[in-house]
Amino acid sequence: MPTTPATATHSSSNGTAEAIMLELVDENGTTIGTAEKLAAHQAPGQLHRAFSVFLFDEQGRLLLQRRALGKYHSPGVWSNTCCGHPYPGEAPFAAAARRTHEELGLSPSLLAEAGTVRYNHPDPVSGLVEQEFNHLFVGMAQTAPNPEPEEVGETAFVTAAELAERHARAPFSAWFMTVLDAARPAIRELTGPSAGW
């Protein structure tokens, strides 16, 4: 596996993985502590900071990713362009840009804040729970993705109509529609009314 800022930061000198820590928050998004990543997702879940990215091409198509089959949480399902968790003390915007590059090998040509949303979504397959205070970002992807295979199984650019068809027949992440609906005003502003978002 290539060394990325994520793997470099969380691998110790003797080759053992160090725990990945998440930032716990209250209902207003104020930091109140930290928790180990897996522990924060075990039922009933601990409210923690997260981010979701939605990137579009110049035709107004959304870049989706299918999560790699080896991921411990929601493997093999389709989801938004990128999602994840800032490290404790890391700005959500910086984390969103970092993980988009680590997972998809691209840097957005534009990335803008699109609000926040708080949700509680259990994953029926794994039993894990997404209790998240999620920072939303929308932007433009002007280069082709080059996915990291341990993170991303495949990618697809879709129109709003194609997304509706795909969502009706393929499994998507439990949080996908919640974050998409919360980001829609910013998406419409970015893509214009003709894109249909």
User: Catalytic site residues?
Assistant: 83, 132
The candidate with the shortest Cα–Cα distance to 86, out of 112, 114, 49, is: 49
Report the distance separating Cα 89 and Cα 91, nearest Å: 6
The candidate with the shortest Cα–Cα distance to 81, out of 115, 59, 105, is: 105
Pairing mode, strands 129-140 and 48-56: parallel
DSSP tally for the chain: helices H, then strands E: 5, 9
- Cβ(39)–Cβ(46) under 8 Å? yes
Report the distance separating Cα 148 and Cα 154, nearest Å: 10
Bridge partners of 117, per DSSP, are: 134
